[in-house]
Amino acid sequence: MRGPSAMPSTRYTLVTGVAALAVLATGCAGAGGGGSDSGAKSINVLMVGNPQMEDIAKLTKDTFTKDTGIKVNFTILPENELRDKVTQDIATKAGQYDVATIGAYEVPVWEKSGWLHELGSYADKDKSFDEADLLKPMVQSLSGSDGKLYALPFYGESSFLMYNKDVMKAKGITVPERPTWQQIADIAAKVDGAEPGMKGICLRGLAGWGELGAPLTSVVNTFGGTWFTKDWKAQVNSPAFKKATNFYVDLVKKHGESGAAQAGFTECLNAMSQKKVAMWYDATSAAGSLEDPASSKIAGHVGYAYAPTVETKSSGWLWSWAWAMPKTTKKADAASKFMLWASSKKYEQLVGEKLGWARVPAGKRASTYDIPQYQKAAGSFGDLTLKSIEGADPANPGVQPRPTVGIQYVAIPEFQDLGTKVTQEISAAIAGKTTVDKALDDGQKLAEEVAKNYQK
C-alpha cells in the first residue's frame, strides 16, 4: 500500500537515499583515510547545490580541516529538495545535520519556532570575524525578533536591471541609472524586435513564491501595494496591488519573452545570454553568469541599472544564503568554527587566490568591494550590486509599515503555500487563461484565511 501519494514518497526516498549514500561515502572515506581524527570532530553540513557551495566543498579539506582537525561531511541538494529535506530534518528534530544553508525567508520563521541556535555570541567572540563589516540589510534579514543573529551570511544579492548595451546603442536609447517602471515599459516597446526574434524584456512568469513571486512582489512594493498591512489585513486585491500586477502582466504579455508563463530565473538567464531579450530585471547574482564568455553571447556588452521604481526610493529585493545551526546539534563548537570560517574575509581571499576573484561569494561584506582584485573582476556590476544591497530596506520596503521583515516575500510559514497558489493564478493570467482581477480576487480569499491566524 502506498503512503500519502506516489510521487512525494518516491521523491522522499530518493532524497534520503542520496543523503544516506553521501553519509556512507564520507563515512568510508573517514575510516579509510586519516583514522587519527576523533569521531567527535566531524560535522555534517547540508547545502544547496549552487556554484559557491560546490567551491567550498572542494576547498574545505586542504584548508579548514587541515588547520582545525574538524572533518566536514557535505551533502549537496538542489534548492527545492534542500528545502524539503532541511524542513523535515529540523521540524521533526531528526538532528542529522549540524549546519544547514537556509535563506533569508526561513530565518525569522524558524527562529520563532525555536529551531535555530543563536549565533551572535559566537561571532562576537571571534575578533577576526569582524561582525561590523557585514552589510546591514543582511544582518537585519538574518536576525530574529530578539535582535540576535541566527544565521551567518555566505553570499547575498539584491535585484537590478540588466540590458543589452549594443541594442540600446543601435536604437539610440540611454537607460537611466535609476529608471522608473514607466520608462522601462517604454524602452521595452522600442527595443522589441530590435533583432529578429528579440523581445523587449524578460520577467519571470513561472509560478512559485520564489520564482514569479519575487520580482512581482518587488514591483508591488514600489507601486504602493503590500500583501498584508501591519495589523494583518490582506491587501491582495487592493487597487495598488492590482495596478502593479496588471502592469507586470501587460508588460510581459506585450513585450516579454516567448513562453513567459513557463520562464523562471534559468529561462530568463538563457534568453538574455542568447540575445533573445534586450533587458532583464532579476537577481544581481545573475551578472556573474552573464559576464562569463563560456556560456554567454553578450559577455562584456551588458549594462546595469538600479531596480526600476514608482513610488519608493529603491525597489531591489534582498536575499542571502546563510549558515544556520539547528538546535538539535551536539557539536555546536565545531559547527560554529566552520560557519565563522566560511563567512570570513579569510575564506573570500582563499577563493579569490585559488579559484579566481569572480567566484568570491560576495554581497555580504563591505570589505569585499575594497579588494582591488575583486573590483577588477566585477568591474561593471560590483559597485551597483553593493549599492543595491545597501539600499534595500527589508523592514520597510514599501510605502506602508509591514507585519514582518522581508522584501520579496512575507516571512510567515504559510507564505510558501499562499505565494505559490497566487502566483499560479497570475501565471495563468500571463498565459491568457484568466484575468488579473480574477486571479487577485481569488488570492485575496486565500490571504484572508492566512491572516486569520495572526489577527488579534
Residue from the set 65, 262, 349, 375 that interacts with other proteins by CB under 8 A:
262
Query: Cβ 9 to other proteins, closest distance in Å?
Result: 8
Sheet bearing 319-324, strands edge to edge: 71-77, 42-48, 99-103, 319-324, 152-157
1 lies in the binding site for other proteins (CB under 8 A): yes
Round to whole Å and give the CA distance between 354 and 342: 15
259 lies in the binding site for other proteins (CB under 8 A): yes
82 lies in the binding site for other proteins (CB under 8 A): no
39 lies in the binding site for other proteins (CB under 8 A): no
Buried b (16+ CB within 10 A) or exposed e, 109-136: bbbeeebbbebbebbeeeeebebeebbe
Asked if 137 contacts 369 with a C-beta cutoff of 8 angstroms, the reply is no
Tell me the three state secondary structure of residue 35. coil
Residue from the set 428, 436, 440, 447 that interacts with other proteins by CB under 8 A:
428
Query: Cβ 417 to other proteins, closest distance in Å?
Result: 4
By beta-carbon proximity to other proteins, the closer residue of 311 and 442 is: 442
34 lies in the binding site for other proteins (CB under 8 A): no
Nearest alpha-carbon partner for 283 in 208, 210, 352, 183: 210
Nearby residues of 126 by Cβ (< 8 Å), 6 or more positions away: 340
Quick one: which segment of 183-191, 316-324, 384-392, 433-441 binds other proteins (CB under 8 A)? Answer: 433-441
By beta-carbon proximity to other proteins, the closer residue of 29 and 91 is: 91
Query: Cβ 20 to other proteins, closest distance in Å?
Result: 17
434 lies in the binding site for other proteins (CB under 8 A): yes
Reported as half-sphere exposure (CB side, CA atoms, 13 A), residue 239 has a value of: 0
439 lies in the binding site for other proteins (CB under 8 A): yes
Site for other proteins in 396-425 (CB under 8 A): 413-414, 416-417, 420-421, 424-425
147 lies in the binding site for other proteins (CB under 8 A): no
* Per-residue binder mask for other proteins (CB under 8 A), 204-233, x = binder: --xxx-------------------------
Q: Which parts of 146-289 are beta strand (E)? A: 152-157, 159-164, 199-202, 277-283
Q: What is the largest CA-CA distance in the chain?
A: 67
Quick one: which segment of 88-96, 137-145, 173-181, 353-361 binds other proteins (CB under 8 A)? Answer: 88-96
Q: How distant, in Å, are the alpha carbons of 94, 259, 351, 376 from that of 373?
A: 43, 40, 12, 5
Round to whole Å and give the CA distance between 416 and 166: 39
Asked if 443 contacts 220 with a C-beta cutoff of 8 angstroms, the reply is no
Site for other proteins in 301-360 (CB under 8 A): none
* Per-residue binder mask for other proteins (CB under 8 A), 101-140, x = binder: --------x---xxx-------------------------
452 lies in the binding site for other proteins (CB under 8 A): no
Query: Cβ 6 to other proteins, closest distance in Å?
Result: 4
Residue from the set 171, 297, 354, 433 that interacts with other proteins by CB under 8 A:
433
Asked if 338 contacts 45 with a C-beta cutoff of 8 angstroms, the reply is yes
Task: Judge residue 2's burial from the number of C-beta atoms within 10 Å of its C-beta, 0-12 exposed, 13-18 middle, 19 or more buried.
Answer: exposed
Quick one: which segment of 67-75, 201-209, 218-226, 355-363 binds other proteins (CB under 8 A)? Answer: 201-209
By beta-carbon proximity to other proteins, the closer residue of 168 and 249 is: 249
DSSP 289: H
By beta-carbon proximity to other proteins, the closer residue of 270 and 349 is: 270
Residue 59 has a CB neighbour count (10 Å cut-off) of 16
Nearest alpha-carbon partner for 315 in 225, 429, 433: 225
Round to whole Å and give the CA distance between 297 and 310: 32
193 lies in the binding site for other proteins (CB under 8 A): no
Query: Cβ 197 to other proteins, closest distance in Å?
Result: 7
By beta-carbon proximity to other proteins, the closer residue of 87 and 183 is: 87
Residues that bind other proteins (CB under 8 A): 1-8, 11, 80, 83-84, 87-88, 91-92, 109, 113-115, 196-197, 206-208, 258-262, 271, 276, 413-414, 416-417, 420-421, 424-425, 427-428, 430-434, 439
